Amino acid sequence: MPDLRYLVKAIDDAGELLRIKRPVDPRFELPALLKQAEARRKGVLFEDVKGAAFAAVGALLTSPPRFAMGLGLTDSTGYSAHDHRDAVFAAIANPVQAALVTQAPCKDVVMQGEAVDLGLLPVPTFFAEDSGPFLTAAVGISRNPDNNILNVGIYRVLITGKNQVAVSVGPSSDLLQFLAADKAAGRTTQIALAIGVNPELLMAASAKVPPELSELDVAGGLSGESLKVTQAETLDMVVPADAEFVLEVEIDHQQYVPNTMGEFGDLYGTQNGHIGTVRVITHRRDPMFHTIMAGAGREHNSLGFIILYDIEPGLKQALSKAFPQVSDLRACFAPPTMGMPGELYLQIKQGSTISVSELARRVFEMRVGRWDICRVIRKIVVLDADIDINSNNDITWAINNRALTANHHLFFEDLPLPGVGMRMAIDTTVAAEDRERLQRLVIPGSEAIKLEDYLDD
Ligand X SMILES: Cc1cc2nc3c(=O)[nH]c(=O)nc-3n(C[C@H](O)[C@H](O)[C@H](O)COP(=O)(O)O)c2cc1C
Task: Catalog residues that contact ligand X under the rule CB under 6 A.
Answer: 136, 151, 153-156, 168-170, 173-175, 205-206, 208, 271, 292, 300, 303-304, 307
Pairing between strand 245-262 and 377-383?
unpaired
Q: CB of residue 136 vs ligand X: minimum separation in angstroms?
A: 6
At CB < 8 A and 24+ separation, what contacts does 4-8 make? 4/57, 4/60, 4/196, 4/197, 4/198, 4/199, 4/242, 4/244, 4/288, 4/290, 5/288, 6/72, 6/199, 7/60, 7/61, 7/66, 7/69, 7/70, 7/199, 8/43, 8/45, 8/57, 8/60, 8/288
Q: Look up residue 175 and give its amino acid.
A: L
Closer CB to ligand X, 319 or 338, in the complex: 338
Q: In this structure, are strands 134-135 and 288-290 parallel, antiparallel, or unpaired?
A: unpaired
Could you tell me if 253 and 179 are in contact, meaning their C-beta atoms sit under 8 angstroms apart? yes
Phi first, then psi, for residue 92 (nearest 5°) are: -70, -35
Provide the minimum distance between the beta carbon of 408 and ligand X in the complex, in angstroms, as a whole number.
Answer: 34
Query: What is the DSSP track for 303-367?
Result: HHGGGGTTHHHHHHHHHHHH-TTEEEEEEE--TTTT-SSEEEEEEEPTT----HHHHHHHHHT-E
Smallest distance from ligand X to CB 106, Å: 20
CA 215 – CA 155 distance, rounded (Å): 14
Q: Choose between 34 and 205: whose C-beta lies nearer to ligand X.
A: 205
CB of 173 to ligand X, least distance (A): 4
Q: Which of 191, 178, 175 is nearest to 249 (CA)?
A: 191
- Round to whole Å and give the CA distance between 99 and 127: 39
Cβ closer to ligand X: 229 or 346? Answer: 229
Give me the least distance between CB of 425 and ligand X, in Å please.
Answer: 27
- Residue pair 422/378 in contact by the 8 Å Cβ criterion: no
Q: How far is the CB of 174 from ligand X (least distance, A)?
A: 4
Q: Tell me, what amino acid is at 247?
A: L
CB 25 within 8 A of CB 287: no
CB-nearest residue to ligand X: 153
Q: Indicate the residue among 292 and 373 with the shorter CB distance to ligand X.
A: 292
Compute the least distance from the CB of residue 202 to ligand X, in Å: 8
All residues at 6 or more sequence positions from 10 whose CB lies less than 8 Å from its CB, including other chains:
2, 69, 70
Q: Work out how close the CB of 448 gets to ligand X at its nearest, in angstroms, rounded to a whole number.
A: 42
Cβ proximity to ligand X: between 24 and 193 the closer is 193
Q: How far is the CB of 376 from ligand X (least distance, A)?
A: 12
- Least gap, CB of 89 to ligand X (angstroms): 15
Nearer to ligand X, 267 or 404 (CB): 267
The number of beta carbons lying within 10 Å of the beta carbon of residue 30 is 26
What gap in Å lies between CA 206 and CA 61, rounded to an integer? 12
Compare residues 174 and 250 and give the one whose CB is closer to ligand X: 174
Query: Considering beta carbons, is residue 168 or 429 the nearer one to ligand X?
Result: 168
* 291-330 exposure pattern, b = at least 16 Cβ within 10 A, e = fewer: bbbbbbbbbbbbbbbbbbbbbbebbeebbeeebebbeebb
Query: CA dihedral defined by 46, 51, 52, 58, rounded to 10 degrees?
Result: -30
Closer Cβ to ligand X, 85 or 361, answer by number: 85
Kindly tell me which of 23 and 258 has the beta carbon lying closer to ligand X.
258
Distance of closest approach, residue 283 Cβ to ligand X, in angstroms: 21
**Nearer CB in complex with ligand X: 167/363:** 167
